[in-house]
Amino acid sequence: MKVLVINAGSSSLKYQLIDMDTKAVMAKGLCERIGIDGKLTHQGNKTEEKYKADIAMPTHSDAIKAVIDILLDKEWGVISDMSEIDAVGHRVVHGGEYFADSVIITDKVIKAIEACIPLAPLHNPPNLTGINACREVMGDVPMVAVFDTAFHQSMPQKSYMYAVPYEYYQKYKIRRYGFHGTSHKYVSQQAAEMLGRPIESLKLITCHLGNGSSIAAIDGGRSVDTSMGFTPIDGLPMGTRSGNIDPSIIEFLAEHENMSAAEVINILNKKSGMLGISGVSSDFRDLDVAINEGNNRAALAKDMFNTSVKKIIGSYIAEMGGVDAIIFTAGVGENDRSVRWDVCEHMEYLGIKIDPEKNKYRGRQMDISIDYARVRVLVIPTNEELVIAQDTERLVKEAQAK
Ligand code: ADP
Give the CATH number, domain containing residue 235: 3.30.420.40
pLDDT at 43: 96
pLDDT at 400: 93
How do residues 330-362 score in pLDDT, each as one tens digit? 999 999 999 999 999 999 999 999 999 999 999
Nearest atom within ligand 1 for CA of residue 282: 14
Q: Give the residues surrounding ligand 1 with Cβ less than 6 Å away.
A: 210-212, 239, 283-285, 330-332, 335-336
Q: Are residues 337 and 238 in the same domain?
A: yes
Is there a domain that residue 165 lies in? no
Cβ neighbours of residue 221 closer than 8 Å, sequence gap 6 or more: 188, 189, 192, 199, 200, 202
Identify residue 48 by its one-letter amino acid code: E
Q: Are residues 202 and 138 in the same domain?
A: no
pLDDT at 122: 85
Counting ligand 1 atoms within 8 A of each CB, the residue from 269, 336, 341, 384 with the most, and so the one to mutate, is: 336
pLDDT at 363: 85
pLDDT at 402: 87
Q: What is the average per-residue pLDDT within 121-140? A: 92
330 Cα–ligand 1 center, Å: 7
- The residues facing 53 across adjacent strands are 40
105 Cα–ligand 1 center, Å: 32
Q: Are residues 248 and 378 in the same domain?
A: yes
62, 148, 225, 336: the catalytic one is: 148
Is there a domain that residue 162 lies in? no
Ligand 1, atom 1, residue with closest C-alpha? 211
How do residues 89-110 score in pLDDT, each as one tens digit? 999 999 999 999 999 999 999 9
Query: Long-range contacts made by residues 115-119, C-beta under 8 angstroms, separation at least 24?
Result: 119/94, 119/173, 119/177, 119/230, 119/231
Is there a domain that residue 183 lies in? no
pTM to 2 decimals? 0.94
Alpha-carbon span 79 to 6, nearest angstrom: 17
Residue 371, pLDDT above cutoff 90? yes
366 Cα–ligand 1 center, Å: 18
Q: What is the average per-residue pLDDT within 173-192? A: 97
How far CA 190 is from CA of 31, 187, 366, in Å, comes to 30, 5, 11
Output helix, strand, coil percentages for the chain, rounded to the nearest 5.
45, 20, 35
Residue 206, pLDDT above cutoff 90? yes
Ligand 1, atom 19, residue with closest C-alpha? 331
| Total domains, the chain | 2
How do residues 4-36 score in pLDDT, each as one tens digit? 999 999 899 999 999 999 999 999 999 999 999
pLDDT at 352: 98
Range of the domain at 71: 2-147
Q: Are residues 6 and 129 in the same domain?
A: yes
Ligand 1, atom 23, residue with closest C-alpha? 335
**Is 148 annotated as catalytic?**
yes
Nearest atom within ligand 1 for CA of residue 283: 16
The mean of the pLDDT values for the chain is 96
Is there a domain that residue 77 lies in? yes
Is there a domain that residue 370 lies in? yes
How do residues 285-323 score in pLDDT, each as one tens digit? 999 999 999 999 999 999 999 999 999 999 999 999 999
Residue 56, pLDDT above cutoff 90? yes
Q: What is the average per-residue pLDDT within 187-198? A: 98
Q: Phi and psi (nearest 5°) for 363?
A: 70, 15
256 Cα–ligand 1 center, Å: 34
pLDDT at 30: 96
Of 147, 175, 205, the one marking the end of a domain is 147
Nearest atom within ligand 1 for CA of residue 286: 16
333 Cα–ligand 1 center, Å: 8
Counting ligand 1 atoms within 8 A of each CB, the residue from 332, 340, 383 with the most, and so the one to mutate, is: 332
Alpha-carbon span 73 to 400, nearest angstrom: 30
End-to-end CA distance of the chain: 18
Cβ neighbours of residue 71 closer than 8 Å, sequence gap 6 or more: 4, 17, 27, 77, 78, 79, 85
